[in-house]
Amino acid sequence: MSTQRAPDKDLEDLAASARAALVREIEASGAFAADPGWTEAFAAVPRHLFVPYYYVSGAGGYERRWGESPDPRTRERWITGAYEDTPLATRLRDGELLSSSSQPSLMALMLVELRVEKGNRVLEIGAGTGYNAALLSYRLGDEQVTTVDLDPEITESARRHLAAAGYHPVVVTGDGARGVPERAPFDRIIATCQLASVPRAWLAQCRPGARILTPLATGLVALTVRDAEHAEGNFLHTPAYFVPLRGADRPEPEPVALGGVPQRARASDLFRFLLALTRGTLDPQEAHAMWEREERPGRERYGITVGGEHAWAWLDDPEGPYAWPLPGSSGKA
């Protein structure tokens, strides 16, 4: 006999109210402005079904909130917390965060920037809870969406969550850096985990004109694919911090030798973004000199070019004076 708690009408009403409030909050931020079609998706897909439990950090460590708690007040906190515009830690191991549900307003911004069209085939790198795949499935249909994750426990729980919410995209257990060739070609690829470079396998699995949106160096870069070996695009203006991709192409630790760099720059999110983007190719003093000379540029002035075996980052112009190899790449051709 199942011991799962029967649905609580008061909790369902609370969830509906909290979900509507979250949608209004995201809408007020302007995240849906360029594509209002995502408003309906966020209003329809119940986030709480994808986070049956999550962890909230506090002075005494992590507090576990879960929907099956015998305490009705805990269940209410679980519901209201599930619809706050914050990321939720969903999987921990020895104090290390392995998986999370991203901040909904950032998810909205990323989905809008993915610029999906009817009939697009989408690959998501990093299945997480399954919530993002559900939003994509609502908008495009189950058969158009593939999501992949390295951890079989994560993909299995994502399948359960998706099924509970009524969605059945293809969920694959595998290394996201290698893509999912058996489901290619794709029109869009979106990653919800931090990478150090753009895997060449993704380009090879894309149709010409496809769009790739991925976290890189504490930012989000949107690339247009020209062919199986070439892609180029700019970063978005927003910062983005994600759990690193497990498997290949993990980011290296951030450099710590900042001697000679003024405290103002050390404390600047934009300068630390530049350091992450130039890691191993420019020393901090060179990076700081450029940053000051160019009046502390925002993320949107930077871009990435992938060409054959080479990949490089640049400021303002891929053929301009400020260009350097991406970490782990042989650089500009």
Cα separations (Å) of 270 from 146, 218, 239? 33, 9, 9
What pTM did the predictor assign? 0.91
Per-residue pLDDT reduced to its tens digit, 124-146: 999 999 999 999 999 999 999 99
Task: For residue 157, indicate whether it is catalytic.
Answer: no
Q: What is the reported pLDDT for 329?
A: 60
Domain residue ranges in the chain: 9-234, 263-325
Q: Which of 82-86, 106-110, 122-126, 195-199 has the lowest mean pLDDT?
A: 195-199
Q: Which of 2, 29, 69, 99 is catalytic?
A: 99
Per-residue pLDDT reduced to its tens digit, 223-246: 999 999 999 999 999 999 888 776
CATH T-level assignment (fold) for domain 9-234: Rossmann fold (3.40.50)
Alpha-carbon dihedral 150, 154, 157, 158, rounded to 10 degrees: -70
Q: Which contiguous run of DSSP H or E holds residue 221?
A: strand 219-227
Long-range contacts of 251-257 (CB under 8 A, 24+ apart): 251/194, 251/195, 251/196, 251/217, 251/276, 252/196, 252/279, 252/280, 252/327, 254/279, 255/279, 255/284, 257/284
Hey, how many other C-beta atoms are within 10 angstroms of the C-beta on 241? 12
